Amino acid sequence: MPENGATEYQSIIIDGKDKSIRSNPFSPGVRGWKLYADGSVEFASGIFRGELRAASGTFNGTVEAGNILLNGTVEAGTKWVLKHNNNFSFAIGASANQPIKEILTYVQGSCMVRVKFPVLNGAYYNIGKYKITTCDVDGQNETVVKNWTDYEAGQADYMSNILVQLNRNPIKIRLYLDTVVVNGLISASQANSTFELRVKDNPSVLSAF
């Protein structure tokens, strides 16, 4: 049977409510596939006969390649240890002019900043943008690490890992949000979002927070 007014055709569901096309059945991270209106997808696996390009990504398994051309930094065999975790909530329609969360750290070198937005109220979607910057303790010399980037938290959590190079301490890492309201949801809050700082598992390069 069609779900939520969607049209079902040969085990494919075209869902106008969340602007997606998905297999039937579909379970995030378990089975099936889904294509979102913003161009993001979830598949089990794939074969690409042509070129594959990506701005960033995370591989949890083994990557095999005949030839590799590298023009940047390679992080191999690195275990990222959680050093600071901010759980927070925010109101839909939050201002983009002020940071919604900050992490003050004395760590130098490479670190991993993780942003996670969980499912909002089950069926509703929370779509917006986020930005990450670094600055001095007094807020001066602010530098954009990751400029405004779309996120979408709906039937599955949104999570992004950003590699950041800290060249001075102490330093603040700031998270900015620019949220929008969709599906008639006028007033609500996003709970259990997280803003994390992870560092390499190498105590000799760390100092106290």
- Whether 6 and 15 have beta carbons less than 8 Å apart is answered as yes
pLDDT at 154 (0 to 100): 63
pLDDT at 209 (0 to 100): 31
pLDDT at 188 (0 to 100): 45
**Tokens read off for 18:** 């969340």
Global pTM value: 0.57
In order of 63, 73, 111, 173, the CA distances from 154 in angstroms are 30, 33, 28, 26
pLDDT at 120 (0 to 100): 58
- pLDDT (tens, 9 = 90+) of the chain, 209 residues, equals 555 555 444 578 888 877 888 888 888 778 888 888 888 888 888 887 877 777 666 666 677 777 777 665 555 556 788 888 888 777 666 667 888 889 999 888 888 898 887 765 544 456 678 899 999 999 999 999 999 888 776 656 778 888 888 888 899 999 998 875 554 443 344 567 888 998 876 544 433 33
In order of 16, 21, 41, 125, 141, the CA distances from 183 in angstroms are 11, 17, 21, 7, 39
Nearest-angstrom CA–CA distance, 111 and 83: 10
pLDDT at 204 (0 to 100): 42
Domains and CATH numbers, the chain: 7-42 (no CATH), 80-202 (2.60.120.660)
